[in-house]
Amino acid sequence: MMAGRRRPQDETDTLRINSIACDGIGMCAHLAPGVIAIDSWGYPVLPAKPVGGRDLRAVRSAIAACPRGALFLASEPPAMPRPA
pLDDT digit string, tens, across residues 5-47: 455 545 568 999 999 999 999 999 999 999 999 999 999 999 8
62, 32 contact by CB (below 8 A): yes
> pTM here?
0.74
Sort 20 into a burial class: Cβ within 10 Å, 0-12 / 13-18 / 19+. exposed
Architecture per CATH, domain 13-75, reads as 2-Layer Sandwich (3.30)
* CA gap 82, 2 in Å, rounded: 37
User: Phi/psi at 28 (nearest 5 deg)?
Assistant: -60, -40
Q: What are the residues facing 8 on neighbouring strands?
A: none
Q: Give the model's pLDDT for residue 1.
A: 44
Cβ neighbour number for residue 68 with a 10 Å cutoff? 14
